[in-house]
Amino acid sequence: QKEVEQDPGPLSVPEGAIVSLNCTYSNSAFQYFMWYRQYSRKGPELLMYTYSSGNKEDGRFTAQVDKSSKYISLFIRDSQPSDSATYLCAMSANNYGQNFVFGPGTRLSVLP
């Protein structure tokens, strides 16, 4: 079993839909959780950064962490074609970048 699992997609949704992206993990020591967006031919861009369990909201984006289920989610409300990208989750037991483990990413297409 991989340490971090993520459905690779592709996931296609119509413009305006609510998108749910998910990751599961096996290491119960993970406490730091991040979501990155990566456009084609670009580097990843940090979207959300959360510590421990709970929800965090930033504009149209909401990140949820359920440590008891080892499951994290990113919700995108009112999705736009500009949200079409690959979304990567990353997590770690501490805040050292060397210890962050990335999921393989989910490719999202938002159709106009």
Residues near another protein, by CB under 8 A: 4, 6, 8, 32, 34, 41-46, 49, 88, 90, 92, 94-105
Inter-CA distances, 52 with 29, 66, 94, Å? 10, 8, 11
Inter-CA distances, 24 with 1, 82, 101, Å? 11, 26, 12
Closer by beta carbon to another protein, 14 or else 41: 41
Closer by beta carbon to another protein, 28 or else 99: 99
Q: How far is the CB of 14 from another protein (least distance, A)?
A: 25
Closer by beta carbon to another protein, 17 or else 102: 102
Distance CA 97, CA 86 (A): 20
